[in-house]
């Protein structure tokens, strides 16, 4: 699975920790930055990662900022992106089963390393349910 990952300064430290965890697994990961704690705009990284996922260059994207919310709002502006802002294990699984989310966003000022890594792992390993009602609802999102 090809994964695009990115953060702003507020998500940088969590990105590095989640990256370290994901690198122990069989993922093909490209890091879109940022590479330091120097302040930058979450919008720019979200746009790059979301476009790359929407173009089909990556199977999934993972984005982190302070809350995960700015990344989610920005990524969801890109057609074809269904970004899910997740803070718990139940939602990590449910958004894959029900929404077929293709971008995961998390907050570096909210989540610790272990929970964020577990959320990412669950989100990456859960398939869309392909049940008719969920597919119908995803289609309605895509039509809008």
| Gap between the Cα atoms of 11 and 94, Å rounded | 23
Using the minimum distance from each CB to ligand RB5, give the nearer residue, 58 or 108: 108
Which residues 6+ apart lie within 8 Å of 138 measured at CB? 82, 99, 100, 128
As measured in angstroms, the least distance from the Cβ of 120 to ligand RB5 is: 18
* CB burial of residue 97 (10 Å; 0-12, 13-18, 19+): middle
Task: Estimate the share of the chain in helix, then strand, then coil, as percent rounded to the nearest 5.
Answer: 50, 15, 35
As measured in angstroms, the least distance from the Cβ of 5 to ligand RB5 is: 15
Of residues 28 through 87, those in contact with ligand RB5 by CB under 6 A are 42, 65-67, 69-70
H/E stretch holding 42 reads helix 42-54
- Rounded to the nearest 5 degrees, what angle is found at the Cα of 144, between the Cα atoms of 83 and 57? 45
Site size toward ligand RB5 (CB under 6 A) is 8
The reply to whether 8 sits near ligand RB5 by the rule CB under 6 A is yes
Which residue in 10, 22, 53, 104 binds ligand RB5 (CB under 6 A)?
Answer: 10
For the question of residue 40 being annotated catalytic, the response is no
Catalytic residue among 65, 71, 81, 120: 65
Using the minimum distance from each CB to ligand RB5, give the nearer residue, 6 or 66: 66
Query: Interface residues with ligand RB5 (CB under 6 A)?
Result: 8, 10, 42, 65-67, 69-70
Active site residues: 65
């Amino acid at each position: 699975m090809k994964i695009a990952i990115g953060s702003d300064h507020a998500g940088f430290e969590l990105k590095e920790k989640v990256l370290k965890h994901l690198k122990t697994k069989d993922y093909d990961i490209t890091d879109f930055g940022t590479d330091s704690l120097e302040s930058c705009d979450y919008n720019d990284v979200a746009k790059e990662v979301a476009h790359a996922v929407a173009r089909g260059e990556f199977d999934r994207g993972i984005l982190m900022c302070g809350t995960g919310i700015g990344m989610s709002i920005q990524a969801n502006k890109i057609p074809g992106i269904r970004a899910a802002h997740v803070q718990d294990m139940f939602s990590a699984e449910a958004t894959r089963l029900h929404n077929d989310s293709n971008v995961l966003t998390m907050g570096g000022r909210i989540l610790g390393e272990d929970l964020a890594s577990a959320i990412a792992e669950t989100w990456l390993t859960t398939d869309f349910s392909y049940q008719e009602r969920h597919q119908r609802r995803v289609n309605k999102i895509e039509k809008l």
